[in-house]
Amino acid sequence: MSQTTSPEYDYEVAVVGGGPAGASAGVFCAREGLETVVFDRGRSSLKRCAHLENYPGFPAGIDVGTLYDLLHDHVERAGCPIVPDMVESLRRPDAGDGFVVDLQDGEPVTARRVVAATRYDGSYMRGLDDEDAMFETTEHDGETTESFDRGYPNHDGTTPVPDLYVASPSEGSQQAIVAAGRGARVARKVITDARVDAGWWPAVAEGVDWVRREAELDDEWDDRETWGEWFDEYYGEDAPVDVDSDRYQRVRAAVLDDRLSSYIGPDERASRAEAGQERLASHLDPEAVVAGCDGRELLDAMDDDVIAAHLDGEAGPLGVNADGE
């Protein structure tokens, strides 16, 4: 269901932090159609890692710089801008819901919802709730330190502060893949809440984001009327509104649109597979690929123009030309 941002806010969702948790949250929210922004210019625990060896999909591991570039490329391709600025504080506006996001360099922006996704620092959330609830004090070697209480958010990322969600720091998010999963889970809750605000009811608001093979649709399920009967059977009886109401019909139509658009045919599948390979290849270092024992197979997946430009000395490691373009 495509969402639109209220004119009262610059963004529907502001994500603080661009590591695995923040990038994952940004991708999910942006793909839902929520106007989303990621702010990323702080300390990153991922960048402190020498080499990441347990992130699925990279059998020999992956250097952190490449993974970081891939994460941010994915976020931006989903339609979510990444702003290289540090969030100094969050505060409530004088009236109404939402947040004012104060930035170190840029002008403040407003957001309907905020996802905190910074691994180490939660100080920018001070003032949104009682500090004894949000922060904990610890003593070590005679020194007293105060840090964000990782037990403060609920399992789904919600907090006592309405519309504030925490993906990180949180308990159990020390590993990059765990943090990415946490960001996705929290984003799903953000999407559910946004749908409820748009008139959906909880039973139908928890959707999925995936595409399926068109061949899975037989003649019966290729018909929108069949999907409508399915919706009425599963959600109509317990719906909190009358099935003939505009609200019910609007939500029903949105759900059917989502379901039917999630099926793609073989040509579209092939096109997306090719685009995915080319996008991935654009992040590979041609010198490292050529030097590898499987270099020829990897080169087949890379864009021919990029490889040719590199071999001619016209491109750098990531396929940029001498002018940096």
Angle at 191 between CA 187 and CA 197, to 5 degrees: 145
What is the pTM assigned to this prediction? Answer: 0.84
More confident residue, 11 or 95: 11
pLDDT in tens, 231-261: 999 999 889 999 999 999 999 999 999 988 8
Strand partners, 140: 143
pLDDT in tens, 19-43: 999 999 999 999 999 999 999 986 5
pLDDT in tens, 164-173: 999 988 766 6
Tell me what the mean pLDDT of segment 259-283 comes to.
Answer: 90
pLDDT in tens, 106-137: 999 999 999 999 987 789 999 999 988 999 88
Amino acid letter at 238? D
Helix ranges restricted to H, the chain = 20-32, 64-77, 131-134, 176-197, 202-205, 224-231, 246-261, 266-281, 286-291, 295-301, 304-311
Instruction: Return residue ranges of the chain for CATH 3.50.50.60.
Output: 11-197
Angle at 29 between CA 24 and CA 34, to 5 degrees: 155
Pair of tokens at residue 49:
């890692």
CATH number of 11-197: 3.50.50.60
Amino acid letter at 248? Y
Q: DSSP class of residue 96?
A: S
Structural contact between residues 206 and 28, judged by C-beta atoms closer than 8 angstroms:
no
The residue assigned the tokens 């096109």 is 271
More confident residue, 136 or 325: 136
Tell me what the mean pLDDT of segment 258-270 comes to.
Answer: 90
Amino acid letter at 296? R
323 has a pLDDT exceeding 80: no
Tell me what the mean pLDDT of segment 175-189 comes to.
Answer: 93
Pair of tokens at residue 154:
């609920």
> Which uninterrupted H or E stretch holds 83?
strand 82-83
CA distance linking residue 34 with residue 36, whole number of Å: 6
Strongest mean pLDDT among 12-16, 90-94, 208-212, 265-269: 12-16
82 has a pLDDT exceeding 80: yes
Helix (H, G, I), strand (E, B) or coil at 116: strand
DSSP 185-246: HHHHHHHHHHHHHTT--HHHH------EEGGG--TTTTSHHHHHHHHIIIIITT-SS-TTSH
CA distance linking residue 313 with residue 317, whole number of Å: 10
pLDDT-wise least confident of 3-12, 149-158, 226-235, 273-282: 3-12
pLDDT of residue 174: 74
More confident residue, 172 or 76: 76
pLDDT of residue 321: 40
Helix (H, G, I), strand (E, B) or coil at 278: helix
CA distance linking residue 209 with residue 2, whole number of Å: 12
Amino acid letter at 228? G
pLDDT of residue 217: 80
pLDDT averaged over every residue in the chain:
86
pLDDT-wise least confident of 180-184, 217-221, 264-268: 217-221
269 has a pLDDT exceeding 80: yes
